[in-house]
Each structure stands twice: as structure tokens, then as C-alpha cells.
Amino acid sequence: MGVMDQLGLFGASAPAAMVLGSAPQDPPAIDLAHPEPFVTWLRGQLGKPVRLVFTNNRTTFVSAREHHGLMHLRLHQAFAKAGPREVEAILGYLKGGNREANRCLGEFIAGCERPVRTPRSAVVTAGRCHDLAVLATEVNVTYFHGSCTAQVTWGVAAKRRRRRTIQLGCFVADENLIRIHPCLDQAFVPRPYVAWVIFHEMLHEVLGVARSKRRRRVHPPEFGAMEATFPGYQALKAWEVENLPRLMNYRHSR
């Protein structure tokens, strides 16, 4: 697979047919905490290494791409409830050209309950200097083909006299919301820098959370490489280092 293939909430189109159940070994269950047996089984069936990431994406339940001989597989956490037939269907989907596998996965996805969203915080996009709605749309369309669904809002600055650290942006998966620190809504903050912070948080939505044994990895290996593709990345990092003290001294004024 040279490009990423995806199955969304409502299934996907499928090419020529193959028969499910062709795997010679019984497929193991998918365990979110201990996925190693499943990954080992896939590697044996595919004859290539597999990297698995569990996500909580609300629209795409399974996607895969092959890069330099490594199969990157992203599965929704709902597949923890998948049975042997669905697990074999994942294998058929990865091999490609399997209409029955795609149909099986589509049925499973259609039967999954959509996660209940917690009440969403008020979304405020218009700032004094930067409009997050405009920036987020540009970033989403330009770099993610419009696939990001999270809304973007200005956050609220904590009332502190001095800061030792500052979180300029965060992706709240439960609310499907990206919050940007209001310290970035100042005239001296370049527009491309705000766009880059939004890009960083959108990567969190797209890449999800990788699990390695019992550890959650918010920044999987490919995160840094993808983040560095943003235009002017090095210059923006240099600007951040130079201006971080100024950002940390931000005081909200009514």
C-alpha cells in the first residue's frame, strides 16, 4: 500500500473478492493493554513487520499504510470487542483485494456505539489579533485534506503571578476540542506560529495515542518527523525559544 487506506464509520468500498478464514492459525484476541500476540500474528501472516496504534477517532475506525516495508496499522479501541471473524477480516483488509473482509469490518463498525461526547466547552475563535477559525481551516485543508474534526478555541489563562511552564495548545479527545493558550493572541506573535501550534494539536487527533506494552505514547515516533514538515519549522522553533519568556509573562486583561 503506497497510500493510506481507510475504513470509516460507515464502511468502505472494496475491490475483488477473497474468502475470509484463509489464515492458517487461529487469530488472537485484540487486547488494548497487551497487543503483542495480535501484532505477532499479523507479522507472521503478512511476512512483514507491523506497527499498531490504537485510536479513539470518531470517524475512521481502521486505516493502514505501508512505508519502507513496515505496515502502519491504526485501529479504533472498539476493536477490543472484535471476534475471530473480525480479526481475520483485518488481515484480509491489510492484504488488500478482499471484498468480504471489507464487508465484515463495515458491519462491525456500523454496529459500534458512537462514543458519548461530554458537554463541549464554549468555542471562541475570534481573537484580538488572530482568528482561529480561519487559521484552523487553512491548516486542516492544506495539511490534512480536511480530515480533522476537532473544533479549535481560545482557552482561558490561569490567574498566576509567575509561570514556570506554559502549555500553548492541547487536544482534548473527550471533547474533540483543541484549545489554544490566549497568550498567542498578541500582536507580536506571528500568524505562522499560531498555525504551527494548531498543526501540532491536529497531529494529536490524527495520530492518536500509541501503546507500547503498558505505556501510552502521546508522541509516537512519526510525530516529530511529521511536525518538522511544517513550512519554516526551524525558524518557528527558534522564534519560540527567543520569545517563550515573553509568552510566559502573559497577563490577561479584560
Give per-residue pLDDT as tens, 228-248: 899 999 999 999 999 999 998
Q: CA 133, 139, 140: angle at the middle one, nearest 5?
A: 85
Amino acid 23: pLDDT: 42
Q: What pLDDT, in 10s, does the model give residues 98-116?
A: 889 888 988 888 888 655 4
Return the minimum-mean-pLDDT range out of 86-95, 132-141, 244-253.
Answer: 244-253
The pLDDT value recorded for residue 41 is: 95
Percentage of residues in the chain having pLDDT higher than 90: 44
Domain ranges for the chain, please list them.
5-110, 132-208+223-248
Tell me the pLDDT tens digit for each residue of 59-78. Answer: 678 888 888 889 999 898 89
Share the mean pLDDT of the chain: 81
Residue 238: per-residue pLDDT: 96
On the 0-12 / 13-18 / 19+ scale of CB atoms within 10 A, 7 is buried
Predicted confidence at residue 21, as pLDDT, reads 41
Q: What is the pLDDT of residue 198?
A: 96
Query: Does pLDDT of 254 surpass 50?
Result: no
Residue 166 confidence (pLDDT): 86
Kindly report which listed range (16-20, 218-222, 240-244) carries the lowest average pLDDT score.
Answer: 16-20
pLDDT of residue 154: 95
**Terminal Cα-to-Cα distance of the chain (whole angstroms):** 53
Structure-model confidence comparison of residues 124 and 119, the more confident one: 124
CATH number of 132-208+223-248, picked from 3.30.2010.10, 3.30.9.10, 1.10.1740.10, 1.10.8.60: 3.30.2010.10
Q: Residues 70, 36, 106, 60: is their CA dihedral positive or negative? A: negative
According to DSSP, residue 179 is labeled E
> pLDDT, tens digit, for every residue of 176-203?
899 999 999 999 999 999 999 999 999 8
Q: Tell me the whole-structure pTM to 2 decimals.
A: 0.55
Looking at the predicted structure, is the pLDDT value of residue 90 above 50?
yes
CA-wise closest residue to 176 among 115, 112, 110: 115
**pLDDT band at residue 158 using 50, 70 and 90 as cut-offs:** confident
Residue 133 has pLDDT above 90, yes or no: yes
Question: Which of 85 and 158 is assigned the larger pLDDT?
Answer: 85
Q: What are the tens digits of pLDDT across the range 29-41?
A: 999 889 999 999 9
pLDDT of the residue at 40: 94
